[in-house]
Amino acid sequence: MACHVRGLMKVNRKAHTLTLSWGTTIPFKEMDSWFYLNLDKTHKLNHPVEGHPVSGPNVALGKDAPPITCLTCHEPHHSTVSNLILPKYKNTTSLCMSCHHFPF
């Protein structure tokens, strides 16, 4: 997630570089096409919609469900599905419906 949350990067404006949380330093120009998340100040909420958790307990599925991480919904860096969602979902709606059951 550190690649997608600007607040977790250390900026060196003089050198035109960013240092990611695991210590890798990259030039600004490498960041031009990256997607950034609009997370809250705790970096735990607001993706894909405001208030939605990006980490922690999966309250939608109950206490026995595995915790939410980026990998709960995404296959980073090489998914063939839009928004890098897991290939087992046809689209973002089917992904959301896997946890959230809406009565229609």
| pLDDT value for 52 | 93
Amino acid at 14: K
Q: Which residue has the higher pLDDT, 3 or 44?
A: 44
pLDDT in tens, 54-63: 999 999 999 8
| pLDDT value for 23 | 87
| pLDDT value for 68 | 93
Would you kindly state where each structural domain of the chain is located, as residue ranges?
A: 1-36, 42-104
Strands (E), 1-104: 10-12, 17-19, 25-27
The CA-atom distances, in angstroms, between 24 and each of 14, 19, 20 are: 17, 6, 5
What number of other Cβ atoms are within 10 A of residue 80's Cβ?
A: 7
Q: What is the dihedral of CA 62, 95, 33, 11, to 10 degrees?
A: 0
pLDDT in tens, 73-85: 998 877 788 888 8
Question: In a 3-state reduction of DSSP, which class is residue 17?
Answer: strand
Q: What is the percentage of the chain residues whose pLDDT exceeds 70?
A: 95
- Whether pLDDT at 2 is above 70: no
The CA-atom distances, in angstroms, between 94 and each of 17, 20, 86, 87, 89 are: 38, 32, 11, 11, 6
